Structure 1
Amino acid sequence: MRVPRTASGGQPVHKLRSTAAVCTTLSALAATSILGGRSSAEPFSTAACALHRTDVHHSEGVDTWNAAYPRPIGTVDAVMVFLSFPDATPRTSPAELTADYFPATSRYYQQASYGRLTLRPHPLGHWLRMPRPSTAYAIRRDWDVDDRAAYLRDAFAVADKEVDFSRYQVVYFVADPDAPGVDSDATKVVNLDTPVHVDGTDVRRVVTVFEKHPPDHLVLAHETGHVFDLPDLYRRPTDGKGAWDTHVGDWDLMGSQFGLAPDLLAWHKWKLGWLEPRQVVCVRGARPTRLTLEPLEAGPGVPVQGAAGTPSFGLGHGVKLAIVRTGPDSALGFEARDAAGNDRAACRQGVLVYRISSGAASGGGPVAVVDAHPHTEACWENSVYPPLADAPVALGESFTVPGEGVRVEVEGRTASGAWTVSITPAVTG
């Protein structure tokens, strides 16, 4: 489910802006990514830190893959079906609506996956007429089950005449944005308890798109993340009031498509299969472990700033994620975030620390960014949640995670732009 809007098209949290005024040799990798291992660090065997996948919706467990979802590796084909209604004449063309989302969505995933995913769109190219007026489906954010089922039943019926659904792993039903019954807050992924069996294949989920033209930036990328079993990271207030982005702020697309640093967290990249085992380090024991973290954004052709302030293209295959296990279904993640790639508008750079819980369902806080600067905020003009905009531990700083006693020190940066850090799993005394 996507993040809500105000009447002007932005998230409610936008009010805060004013109110808050992989490849080197094994030996080379060990030399550059694990420095002076004074504790137990496992760069090539992360079973001790791989949280188990639980039965909650979109569990953050990474020990197994949920086969009910398409794995975003290689080429994933997505069909776009454009639906019009008897009570409106479309004012935009399918070509215009396709351009709203592609190639931008494909580029986002190409960069986030370090080239491991190619999301290939297949737009139908013309409108298909639904049998009933748009107002008949009572489209809204918290959609009545029967009304939603009627919409999907009619959409599949009209589309099956022209679409071979067996060819696609992702299905987008794009409604005429100007039809009177279309509510942009209703854009979401619909997970079907009983799959639709069509063209010899089971369709288990559909992205229903009701965005205005032009749409909000990266909204389709956010919804596509759900198709790949990623959870919502925002918080939905029970009374509809208050901030929505208190869990992760700007720091993951699944929190907000408006974020300044919307690249997916390293934990999510590990879950999706975009990180090699050697790019994840499990830190154990009670003594400090020094290691080098590559910027999350660094990959083929993505420059980051080296120690001398000049762009470096030499990164992309080193350690991206350090983990400290904190409980049966919980862990802390540590990753370096730079103003590059999908995060080129990031407010602050440094080592981002966050809690992961594989037992928390989508929308229930499965990830929570830990604020290393809890008494300050930053980028209040354009951050979705300024209190977390300056959350990373900056160069030369140290930080102890509240409640866990885990300490991280950001010691320096290499000439290539990687971050050297020291992590102490348990601080005593």
Structure 2
Amino acid sequence: MSIAPSRLRHCLAALTLAACLAAPTTVNAASSPSAHRPLSPAAACALPGKSGWTDEGHDTDRVQFQPTTGTRRVLTLFVDFPDAQATGSTDAYAAQLAPAADWMRTASYGRTRLALTSLHRWVRMPAASDSYGFERGLTFEAHEKYLRDAITAADPYADFSRYDMVYVVPAKAASAISFSPTYLYDPTTSGVTADGTRIKWAVTFGQDLWRWGPKVAAHETGHTFGLPDLYSFTGPTHQYVGGWDVMGNIAGPAPQYLGWHSWKLGWTRDDQVTCLAAPGRRTVRLTPVERRHGTKIAVLRTGETTAYVAESRRAEGNDRDACSVGVLIYKVDSAGPTGEGPVRVMNGNPAATPPTGCTGLDMAAYTPGQTFTDPDGGVRIDVLAGDGTGDVVRIEWPPRRPGD
């Protein structure tokens, strides 16, 4: 969960995004001069962000959000409170987070590395744990105060100029610090500084760290890269993507970032993307997103901010507990706000009975012989074959009529 600064929240509510974050002008590929070509360069399927915050657009503001490749230097602070004092060492807390580095390296094909450094001492916060307002609806200002208190208390013992990002982990006794929001700085304010450095990105962990482990770090750090929440803020929590991406169900069985996210973050190259941004037909061999090489996604752009994506998924790597394997098909809307379904998985097996630990949407992968169609959007995706190396799909827009 990321909390928008007040200025941006007000702009979002008023839908006056131009006053908040100016979005670059984007040409609709379907109406461009090159629209007659059935196979387009990948850039023609990159969608513009429209929410002014974390979203599925490819034009993420890299001032507001941190770089997505290379080594990200992270300092972990351990804090306790006058009313919730820690007992024992910080070692178990550091060990709980440590696997996040391997998880991120695997997810990014080695292109992003979290260099985790722990300040192994308990830092006492100046106020009681229940005074910081950690509940749903936590304001940006209250969250920033919590971070500022932690940074100020730790400043005598750490040089913050050496790090890109800060993790703050509370003592187990601090039950009032229940969940783990992400801090993204507001460039219009003085913010939080230490050692001459502006603290731009931080994750303040809660007690959910002990339920979900290092995948909480993968989810929240994803927000610092510009990724939105894929779970639902209203209605059934996991109605949109189930457990197919750690930005959705953190505890899901197949939490590897979607191929679309991998492309947005620069982990998947443009030459690993097949793009159909105009009427046409294309057959594509996809290699699983859990593996580094090969074509990762086939994208069928349907509008200025919408597209369908097909990718191959296998039960390996971060997805070793996947409930179904095959071709995952989903719709992306880069104008969709975080928490309101900017990605929606198409369920290829709605009648399946999920085994223990799986949900209906976790069974969504399409297998050879199955077809997805969207008559309204004029889209058809056929799964033609699949084996240990991946899957073959045919994407069409619009679908051909019998006899064509």
**TM-score in same-fold range (> 0.5):** yes
In the alignment, the residues of structure 2 paired with residue 50 and residue 146 of structure 1 have an alpha-carbon distance, to the nearest angstrom, of 34
In structure 2, the residue corresponding to 1:160 is in which secondary structure? helix
Equivalent residue, structure 2, for 1:167 = 162
**In structure 2, C-alpha distance between the alignment counterparts of 1:225 and 1:146, rounded to whole Å:** 21
2:354 corresponds to which residue? Answer: 379
Cα distance change of structure 1 residues 129 and 140 upon mapping to structure 2, 3 Å threshold: same
Alpha-carbon displacement from aligned partner over 1:162-210 (angstroms, at most 9, x marks no partner):
2222221221111112135x232x3111233333232222222321112
Instruction: Tell me: CA distance 1:287–1:115, structure 2 relative to 1, closer, same or farther (3 Å).
Output: same
- Indicate yes or no: 2:39 matched with 1:41: yes
Aligned to 1:327: 303
Kindly indicate whether residue 337 of structure 2 is the aligned counterpart of residue 342 of structure 1: no
Residue 271 of structure 2 aligns with which residue?
A: 278
Moved more, 289-298 or 361-370: 361-370
**1:18 maps to what in 2?**
none
* Aligned partner of 2:68 among 54, 72, 75: 72
Moved more, 283-292 or 70-79: 283-292
Q: Does 1:219 align with 2:189?
A: no
The change in CA–CA distance for 1:273 and 1:92 in structure 2 (over 3 A counts) is farther
Instruction: Return the alpha-carbon distance in structure 2 between the equivalents of residues 155 and 63 of structure 1.
Output: 32
* Match in the other structure for 1:388: 361
CA distance in 2, matches of 1:145, 1:372: 40
Helix, strand or coil for the counterpart of 2:65?
Answer: coil
Q: Return the offset for 1:381.
A: 2.1
Which of 149, 165, 177 pairs up with 1:183? 177
Give the equivalent residue in structure 1 for 2:55. 59
1:403 to 376, 382, 388: 376
Paired residue type of 1:67:
V
Question: TM-score when scaled to structure 2?
Answer: 0.84
Which residue number corresponds to residue 228 of structure 1?
Answer: 225
How far, CA to CA, are the matches of 1:421 and 1:144 in structure 2? 45
**1:141/1:187 contact within 8 Å kept:** no
Q: Look up the SS of the partner of 1:40 in the other structure.
A: coil
User: What code does the residue aligned with 2:298 have?
Assistant: A
Q: Is the 8 A contact 2:79 2:123 kept in 1?
A: yes
* Cα deviations by residue, 1:123-155 (Å, 9 ceiling, x for unpaired): 101101112222333432322555434423321
- RMSD across aligned positions (CA): 2.1
Q: Write the distance in 2 (CA, Å) between the matches of 1:90 and 1:213.
A: 16
Q: 1:378 to 1:297 in 2, by over 3 A?
A: farther
Matched, 1:255 2:248: yes
Aligned twin of 1:124: 119
Q: Runs of 5+ in structure 2 lacking a partner?
A: 3-36
CA contact (8 A) 1:54 1:358 kept: yes
Decide whether aligned partners of structure 1 residues 325 and 212 sit closer, same or farther in structure 2, where only a CA change above 3 A counts. Answer: closer
Task: Give yes or no for the alignment of 1:141 onto 2:136.
Answer: yes
> Equivalent pairs: percent with the same residue?
37
Q: Is the 8 A contact 2:209 2:216 kept in 1?
A: no
Question: Kindly tell me: are residues 145 and 263 of structure 1, through their superposed partners in 2, closer, same or farther at Cα, counting changes over 3 Å?
Answer: closer
CA offsets 1:22-67 (integer angstroms, 9 cap, x no match): xxxxxxxxxxxxxxxxx8223xx21211111334211211145533
For residue 236 of structure 2, what is the aligned residue in structure 1? 243
**Rounded Cα–Cα distance in structure 2 between residues aligned with 1:63 and 1:325:** 16
Instruction: Give the CA deviation at 1:84.
Output: 1.0
Distance 2:209 2:223 in 1: 22
Contact 1:78 1:120 survives alignment (8 Å): yes
Shift of 1:320: 0.2
1:80-130 per-residue CA deviation (whole Å, 9 max, x = no partner) reads 00111122331353110011111x211111111111111110110110111
Q: Confirm or deny that 1:422 pairs with 2:402.
A: no
Alpha carbons of structure 1 residues 147 and 116: separation in structure 2 relative to 1, 3 Å: closer
Give the 3-state SS of the residue equivalent to 1:221 in structure 2: helix
Partners in 2 of 1:162 and 1:144 — Cα distance? 28
CA distance in 2, matches of 1:378, 1:58: 34
Q: Deviations along 1:395-417, whole A, 9 cap, x unmatched?
A: 22222135323111211236x61
Do the aligned residues in 2 keep the contact of 1:170 with 1:227 (CA within 8 Å)?
no
Aligned residue pair count = 363
Does structure 2 conserve the Cα–Cα contact (< 8 Å) formed by 1:354 and 1:368? yes
Per the alignment, do residues 143 and 286 of structure 1 end up closer, same or farther by CA in structure 2, a change over 3 Å counting? closer
The answer for unaligned runs of 5 or more in structure 1 is 3-38, 300-315
